[in-house]
Structure formats: C-alpha cells, structure tokens
Amino acid sequence: MAASDLDAQANITGSSKEDDATYDAIVVGAGASGIGVGITLQHVGIENFLIIDRDTVGASFAAWPAETRFITPSFPSNSIGMLDLNSIAIGVSPAYNMRVEHPTGAEYATHLQNLVKYFELPIQEKTNVTSIEKHDDLFAIETENGVIHAKNVVWSAGEYQYPSLSGFSGAELCRHTATVDSYSQLEGDNFLIIGGYESGIDAAYHLAKNDKKVSVFDMEGPWESESSDPSVALSTYSFERMRHEKFEENVSLHAHSIVTLVNQVNDTYQVITGDGQTFTSEVQPLFAGGFDGSHKFVSHLFNTRDDGFPEINENDESTIMPGMYLAGPSVRHDGHIFCFIFKYRQRFAIVAKSIAESLGLETEDFVAAYKSWGMYLDDLSCCGQECLIC
Ligand SMILES: Cc1cc2nc3c(=O)[nH]c(=O)nc-3n(C[C@H](O)[C@H](O)[C@H](O)COP(=O)(O)OP(=O)(O)OC[C@H]3O[C@@H](n4cnc5c(N)ncnc54)[C@H](O)[C@@H]3O)c2cc1C
C-alpha cells in the first residue's frame, strides 16, 4: 500500500494553525520511533508538527559498529497484509527497499532518511534539546538554537546515545560496545566482554571471526534461556552465528558469572567474578551491559515505575504531565517490554490518536486502517509475558 492509499482511508482534515509559533506537537528524536510517530501524526491529519534531532535522521543507527546488523529479519511480506518486521510504517518494507535481510545500522539510517524524503516529513536536524518545561498549557522545549513551544511533546530520543557504564566497581574502566566504530579495528588478541545478550554476542562473533580469543560473562546466560520472547532470550540470528566454527573455536561463554570488580594493574585489566575467579587481558574490557536511556533526561515529566522506566497511561502519555508522550523502546506497560521495532511501532498510532483527539480531529478511519495492519495495539490482555504480538 502506498502512503497516498492510506491517506484516502484516514480522515485527513488537517489540524489548526492558529498560532504558527506554537506547534501542535514536537517529536524529539529522528530515529525509528520519531520518524514512525511522525508518519502516523501526518496520517491522522496533524500538519503543525516538527521532528527535531540533535544530530541527523537515523544518527544512532549510523553510529552502530560497522559490522553490526539487524537481528530481526526483513522480508517483503506486506503484500499479504503482514508488515515487514523492521518496518516503521504501513506500506513500507525495508526488505523491498534495500534488498537486504539483516541491514547494517548505516543501511537502516539511509532507509529512515529516504522515508523522510518520501513522506516529506518536517524535520529540523542539529537541534539538541537541553530542557523541557511546561508552563500553563504549553511546553517550552529549550534547544541550543532557541526555545520551541508546543501543545504536545513526543519523547523518542532512544537509548543508544545514553549508554550505561555502571553496575560494578571499576565499570568506568571498560569500553561500552556503543562506542566501537568497527570490531575489525580493535587491537589486541584476548577480549573480555561483560554482558552476553545481543550486543555482547554480536561483539564476540565479529572478534572471533577475526581470530581473537573472547570470554563472555553474563550474570544469567541468555544463550541458555528457554523463553520465546526475544526481549529476554537471544535471537535466532545470534544462535545461528554462535554455531559458526570460529565462534565455537574462539569464544568461551560464562553463564551465571557476576562481574564484581574491574581493575587495572599496570598494563593489565582484571575482571573479577563473584565466585572469586580473575580473568586478565591487556585489552580494555568491553561492556555490553545496556543503556541508561534518554528517558532519564525527562524524568521530571513522568512518575517513575519501580523498574526505573517512565510511568505512562493507556495512551503512552505521562500520568502527571498531560501532553507529554513516550515512544520507542522505553515504553513499558506492566510486564510488557516494547524494545524491538516490531513491538513499539504498534503504539505510534495510539499516541497519534490521543494527540489528534485533543486537537478535535476525527480518528475512526485512521484507527481502523492501523488496526487492520497490526499497527494499533491497544489491548494488552491478549499478550502474555512471552509474546507481545497478538
Ligand atoms: C546493537 C543493536 C542492535 C539492535 N538490533 C535491533 C534489531 O535487529 N531489531 C530491532 O527491532 N531493534 C534492534 N535494536 C534496537 C533498536 O536499535 C532501537 O529500538 C532503536 O534504535 C530505537 O529507536 P529510537 O528512535 O527510539 O532511538 P534512536 O534510534 O536512538 O533515535 C533517537 C534519536 O534521538 C536523538 N536525540 C537523542 N537525544 C536528543 C536530545 N537531547 N535532543 C534532540 N535529539 C536527541 C538522537 O540523535 C537520535 O537520532 C538494536 C539495538 C542495538 C543497540
């Protein structure tokens, strides 16, 4: 389906522009979430919105290590009404556009840039948001280029640019995998990787293929998990790569191995685990332990859940600050984790509908169109812990 077909299905009446200096909505972040939300805002009929990004469209993806690829496969399944797993919008298939099953970050960044051109989305790049406050009914979004006012804000600044280097003593001595440009450029022969979920296994695979010896430590051991939920267990793509002969030859996996301390003694790094073992290397240990996430930046605008994520209502809107929305991998409802594109994309239209209705726009046809594509997940009761796609 082309974008124009969807426009015909949706009731596009256009939003008011009574005050050009005030936007109906500002979307912060032009990654997969921000661009996806932007397309749904456009489809529901909101015209007076802007997507802003501190860098460029798809900047986080462009910053992935050169060798890293999507673990979720792309397939041009749209023709039978099943959206490509890596698509962020109805009618879009990265597989069809790029002819690649597991895109690199750089390829996906280009894909997002192409979507911006195709949908003619309003974008302002190189605009770093430094603070957001709400005065009366308007948000003041302070950026390094001035203040922008909006009735609604969608926070979609992601996680990748906010890596975490904590959890044990000496964590700051490690190098986060999000800062690696290319595994082939890392010097040394013996690598210690803390964290054995997707990023840690990805790093181990690329290093092992370059004949490096690698030890991976994980407090649990996702490669042993029996869960079917890819938010918890490793992906099929990773299991496949773990069977590569170089991985089997060069990588040792340490499950249930809690790193308690990282030390540097002269030119040698020591990784010490809870059971008293010490592992050494002259190479700075790699930390693949996740991200603090950008939601910490706007924590004053949300209540915080027990797990540290923002508390949101059924519209993914702050429970304490009406008009402040969250989109992307930080979205959590009860025990449901929306950390992959195929999960969190199903909430874009929920946000768009809520904003549209606050502006007095009709949303019935829009919701029907999105529901028919599995892009409107409003009933989580059908979703068990294991699976969020009903
Ligand atoms: C190694 C790796 C592999 C992955 N593989 C997959 C996969 O196979 N499939 C999948 O579905 N997901 C995958 N993910 C997860 C996926 O990458 C994320 O879900 C996705 O990047 C989130 O998109 P986002 O738009 O929320 O955040 P981002 O892509 O990080 O975009 C956020 C944007 O916000 C901007 N920004 C940040 N702070 C500010 C600020 N203060 N002011 C203005 N702009 C700001 C940034 O410049 C950035 O462009 C992977 C993640 C990693 C790290």
> Of all atoms in ligand 1, which is nearest to the CA of residue 327?
26
SS3 of the chain: the string is CCHHHHHHHCCCCCCCCCCCCEEEEEEECCCHHHHHHHHHHHHHCCCCEEEECCCCCCHHHHCCCCCCECCCCCCCCHHHCCCCCCCCCCCCCHHHHHCCCCCEHHHHHHHHHHHHHHHCCCEECCCCEEEEEEECCEEEEEECCEEEEEEEEEECCCCCCCECCCCCECHHHCEEHHHCCCHHHCCCCEEEEECCCHHHHHHHHHHHHCCCEEEEECCCCHHHCCCCCCCCCCCHHHHHHHCCHHHHHHEEEECCCCEEEEEEECCEEEEEECCCCEEEECCCCEECCCECCHHHHHHHHCCECCCCCECECCCCEECCCCCEEECCCCCEECCEECCCHHHHHHHHHHHHHHHHHHCCCCCHHHHHHHHHCCCCCCCHHHCCCCCCCC
pTM tops 0.85: yes
- Residue identified by tokens 């879009």 is 92
> Of all atoms in ligand 1, which is nearest to the CA of residue 64?
1
- Ligand 1 site-directed mutation target among 52, 160, 193, 316, most atoms within 8 Å of CB: 160
> Of all atoms in ligand 1, which is nearest to the CA of residue 143?
42
The response to whether residue 33 sits with its C-beta less than 6 Å from ligand 1 reads: yes
The response to whether residue 113 sits with its C-beta less than 6 Å from ligand 1 reads: no
Cα 243 to averaged position of ligand 1 atoms, centre (Å): 28
pLDDT at 186: 97
CA 143 to mean position of chain CA atoms: 22
- Ligand 1 site-directed mutation target among 53, 112, 240, most atoms within 8 Å of CB: 53
The response to whether residue 238 sits with its C-beta less than 6 Å from ligand 1 reads: no
List the chain residues with pLDDT less than 50: 1-19, 385-390
Cα 106 to averaged position of ligand 1 atoms, centre (Å): 12
The response to whether residue 157 sits with its C-beta less than 6 Å from ligand 1 reads: yes
Cα 293 to averaged position of ligand 1 atoms, centre (Å): 10
**Nearest CA residue ID for atom 31, ligand 1:** 31
pLDDT at 383: 63
Cα 275 to averaged position of ligand 1 atoms, centre (Å): 35
pLDDT at 381: 74
The response to whether residue 329 sits with its C-beta less than 6 Å from ligand 1 reads: yes
pLDDT at 95: 96
pLDDT at 228: 76
The response to whether residue 60 sits with its C-beta less than 6 Å from ligand 1 reads: yes
Cα 60 to averaged position of ligand 1 atoms, centre (Å): 5
Signed CA dihedral, 240, 224, 162, 152: sign only: positive
The response to whether residue 13 sits with its C-beta less than 6 Å from ligand 1 reads: no
> Of all atoms in ligand 1, which is nearest to the CA of residue 72?
8
**Nearest CA residue ID for atom 25, ligand 1:** 31
Cα 309 to averaged position of ligand 1 atoms, centre (Å): 16
- Ligand 1 site-directed mutation target among 54, 229, 296, 332, most atoms within 8 Å of CB: 54
